[in-house]
Structure 1
Amino acid sequence: MSEMRASDADRAAVTRILELAVGQGMLSLDEYAERVDVVLAARTRGELDTVITDLPHVRRDPVQTPPEVLSSWMSSIARKGQWTVPPRLRLRTRMCSTTLDFTAALLQSPVVHIDLDDYLSSTELILPDGATADLNGVAGVASSTSVKVATSPVSSRLHVVVAGRVRFGSVTARHPFGTSLKRLLK
């Protein structure tokens, strides 16, 4: 069984186990990054098993906790400072201004999935230096999507994946103002 070839689904299941381990404080982000590198290079199930042997798990899809829902109509949503970021977040906004600042946030997982259902709103994601974002899952109608951060290679510190619909609105992923200047001055 350990010499059986690993599938993409096997790699994804092991990655989810590692994400849960980080969220529960069993692995540091550095350990997570090292192990994910092994997962991506694994050819057999035995190679995959080596990265999770010291973690409590059952080799099946972990129970997905429902996403935290942020919903607002004709107002604003702001999460700044040391707010706790769940692994899954659902934004339902109408005629709203939303700012999610991840620079000082407490992460439960190095990968954050955001499901977006937006109408006539602006959504701004402020990511710390070194974080990456994937907004390829955003479908828009008369809207704009701007990614002003790296998209690859996927950051082991924080990677935000946004999917959903934006109608007559905008979604922007960026670093805090002055980040580029700080990099130049170093």
Structure 2
Amino acid sequence: MGFDPGWPTLMITETAAEGRKNVLKAGTYTFAAGPKKFVLKGPFNWGAFDQFFENFTNKRLPAAFRSNLPPVRSAEHEEAAIQDMCHYSLKSALRGLGKWIFVLYYDETGCSACVEAMKVFVTVGKRVRKWTVKDIILARYPSDLNDPIDPAGTLPQPMLIAYPPDGDKLQKHIVYDGEFTEDLVVEFMKGEIRKRWKRAEL
């Protein structure tokens, strides 16, 4: 299932069993981000890699995060790019965007409710595009992590995590774990944004 191309998406999964690979090739991207290693899934090439950062408004990312992304694609440049990214966690990168990040955490293999949740999330994304507030990003996070900070490790059902654009307060995320229907999810998102930004309407 794909996302509407009109809004940014994030597809990252941890593959700890593979160990760390400091190689980027057409077909797969593997890189370290903080204490974890992530793989960008799909038939990726360098153009897709660039598009990944463009989707997250590359100019607003911390400068050092992208400083070694090379214009020339040599093995040395690939290694430098990966080493550069290793110094930044995913949350640090997202924090630099100054946007609300709503992430659907789900287990691709062990969660029977996740297929429907993903469908709901796609329709929610189409509704979000019509809001006047433009600084919102939606993402999916397929994961079977054991990280105690990450609720996806033991989650039997999908969960929506909201990361408000509060700088260092990003860790104090907001969790929605109610019934995963379109109207309820949208109202949760609107409600949190209203409370944080004192907006009367979206």
Question: Is the helix fraction higher in 1 or 2?
Answer: 2
- Structure scoring higher RCO (CA < 8 A, sep ≥ 6) equals 2
Larger relative strand fraction: 1
TM-score scaled by length of structure 1? 0.29
Greater Cα radius of gyration, structure 1 or 2: 1
TM-score by length of 2: 0.28
